[in-house]
């Protein structure tokens, strides 16, 4: 399956397993490899030296190593085989991830009927303890249904429902990694099998309104989303949508005020609020944005401080509303309103 791995491992017992085998059998792009072998550290170091990249321990406890290959997003993981390939495959999550291809060549080793489940479109747990062994597999079962267009068999779905209370136990980074890959249908399936409520989510919002994973996360988890280890940018996006209020009307002034609070996500904020009918007004406002300001802060003749920002915002709003259009009018407006806030 991968000549590079065969080249560095030679005749050693080694297997390519997991998602790489599944995706190859489904004729999907294979990005990451998972190689089970006798000496993961040595294999990873050889691979990195021969083909470029950095080798580093992935799990000191389990002896796994990873190579981040040079010049691409590919990773190659090397994991140990302390008890042989059959024991390794028996510990996997789903049958179609428990198929092994010998690195040296030959037929797939498929003791749990994973190929038949692939052909039938079934997500089937390898064992009755699969979700107890790693509760993240609860989310993964739904995500794989969603991505592959498969369905859990009756026994696996029953196990998911029985184990639903454990879904929030994995690390937040791992939970987020699964959630961000779900479609709207995936979130509905999470709710259907009882996994959404223990995570603090709900389907009360417009989860289908924007085809964007960040939007779906905010709609489903709202104020609870920042409890997950989200990025700074996603925190800003979340705050913008949650604090948004619908424009009073479609006037240029109202749209300008709405955009000031929500850009660059104004259209997403409208969808979040169920006010999509105002999207054309926002788009028109964006097209009408001037190339530059009528005046700069240092031209207002004011002492440095927040007053300058307030006056500049007022000028921008009146320009958007069409009441002023020249530098002279902007300066006159500034003079008329300077000190107004402090004296009120």
129 shares its domain with 56 = no
If you write DSSP's letter for every residue of 156-213 in order, what string do you get?
HHHHHHHHGGGTT-S-HHHHHHHHTT--HHHHHHHHHTT-TGGGT--S-S-TTSS--H
User: What CATH number corresponds to the domain at position 49?
Assistant: 3.30.460.10
CATH number for the domain spanning 207: value is 1.10.3090.10
Cβ atoms of 48 and 54 closer than 8 Å: yes
**How many independent structural domains does the chain possess?**
4
Identify whether residues 152 and 237 lie together within a single domain: yes
Question: Could you read off the pLDDT tens digit of each residue along the chain, which spans 344 residues?
Answer: 678 898 888 888 899 999 999 999 999 988 889 999 999 999 999 999 999 889 999 876 678 999 998 777 788 999 999 899 999 999 999 999 999 999 988 899 999 999 999 999 999 999 999 999 999 999 999 999 999 999 999 999 999 999 999 999 999 999 999 999 999 999 999 999 999 999 999 999 999 999 999 999 999 999 999 999 999 999 999 999 999 999 999 999 999 999 999 999 999 999 999 999 999 999 999 999 999 999 998 888 888 888 899 999 999 999 999 999 999 998 999 888 886 654 44
Q: Is residue 292 part of a domain?
A: no
pLDDT digits over 158-210, tens only? 999 999 999 999 999 999 999 999 999 999 999 999 999 999 999 999 999 99
Domain boundary among 120, 138, 159: 120
Pairing of strands 33-37, 75-80: parallel
Residues 159 and 238 in one domain: yes
| DSSP for residue 30 | P
Sign of the CA dihedral 269, 275, 281, 283? Answer: positive
Which structural domain range is residue 334 located in?
Answer: 297-343
Q: Is residue 138 domain-shared with residue 182, that is, in the same domain?
A: yes
pLDDT recorded at residue 74: 83
User: H/E/C letters for each residue in 264-300?
Assistant: CCHHHHHHHHCCHHHHHHHHHHHHCCCCCCCCCHHHC
| Residues facing residue 125 across a β-bridge | 94
Instruction: Pick the last residue of a domain from 120, 138, 155.
Output: 120
Per-residue confidence (pLDDT) for residue 343, from 0 to 100:
44
**pLDDT at residue 341, rounded to an integer:** 57
Alpha carbons 236 and 222: distance in angstroms, whole number: 13
pTM of the entire predicted model: 0.88
Residues 154 and 177 in one domain: yes
Model pLDDT, residue 340: 65
Same domain assignment for residues 31 and 83 = yes
Is residue 192 situated within a structural domain?
A: yes
Residues 235 and 260 occupy one common structural domain: no
The answer to whether residue 216 sits within a structural domain is yes
Closest CA to 207 of 233, 234, 189: 189
pLDDT in tens, 102-144: 998 889 999 999 999 999 999 999 999 999 999 999 999 999 9
- Is residue 127 included in any domain, yes or no? yes
Q: Is 218 exposed, middle or buried (0-12, 13-18, 19+ CB in 10 A)?
A: buried
Q: What is the arrangement of strands in the sheet containing 64-69, beginning at the earlier edge strand?
A: 53-59, 64-69, 75-80, 33-37, 14-17, 100-102
d(CA 325, CA 38): 75
CB atoms within 10 A of CB 79: 22
**Is the sign of the CA dihedral 202, 208, 214, 215 positive or negative?**
negative
Domain finish residue from 97, 120, 143:
120
- The residues near 124 (Cβ < 8 Å, ≥ 6 apart) are 94, 95, 96, 113, 117, 152, 153, 155, 156
Q: What is the structure's pLDDT at 232?
A: 97
**Whether residue 239 sits in one domain with residue 266:** no
Indicate if 59 and 135 belong to the same structural domain. Answer: no
5 and 86 in a common domain? yes
The predicted pLDDT at position 58 comes to 85
């Amino acid at each position: 399956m991968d000549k590079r791995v065969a080249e560095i491992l030679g005749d050693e017992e080694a297997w390519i397993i997991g998602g790489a085998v599944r995706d190859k059998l489904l004729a999907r792009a294979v990005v990451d490899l998972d190689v089970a072998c006798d000496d993961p550290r040595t294999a990873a170091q050889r691979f990195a030296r021969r083909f470029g990249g950095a080798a580093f321990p992935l799990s000191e406890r389990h002896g796994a190593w990873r190579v981040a290959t040079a010049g691409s997003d590919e990773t190659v993981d090397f994991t140990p085989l302390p008890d042989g390939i059959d024991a390794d495959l028996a510990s996997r999550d789903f049958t179609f991830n428990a198929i092994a291809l010998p690195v040296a060549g030959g037929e797939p080793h498929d003791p749990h009927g994973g190929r038949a489940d692939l052909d039938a479109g079934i997500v089937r747990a390898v064992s009755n303890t699969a979700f107890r062994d790693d509760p993240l597999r609860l989310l993964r079962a739904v995500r794989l249904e969603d991505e592959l267009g498969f369905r859990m068999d009756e026994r696996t779905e029953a196990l998911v429902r029985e184990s639903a209370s454990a879904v929030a136990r994995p690390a937040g980074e791992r939970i987020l990694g699964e959630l961000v890959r779900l479609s709207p249908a995936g979130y509905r399936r999470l709710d259907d099998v009882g996994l959404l409520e223990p995570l603090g989510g709900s389907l009360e919002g417009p989860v289908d309104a924007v085809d964007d994973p960040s939007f779906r996360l905010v709609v489903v988890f709202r104020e609870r989303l920042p409890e997950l280890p989200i990025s700074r940018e996603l925190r800003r996006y979340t705050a913008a949508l949650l604090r948004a209020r619908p424009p009073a009307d479609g006037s240029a002034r109202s749209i300008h005020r709405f955009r000031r609070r929500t850009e660059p996500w104004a259209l997403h904020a409208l969808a979040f609020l169920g006010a999509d009918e105002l999207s054309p007004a926002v788009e028109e406002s964006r097209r009408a944005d001037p190339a530059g300001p009528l005046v700069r802060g240092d031209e207002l003749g004011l002492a440095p401080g927040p007053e300058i920002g307030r006056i500049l915002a007022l000028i921008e709003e009146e320009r958007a509303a069409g009441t002023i259009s020249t530098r002279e009018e902007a300066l006159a407006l500034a003079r008329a309103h300077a000190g107004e806030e402090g004296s009120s």
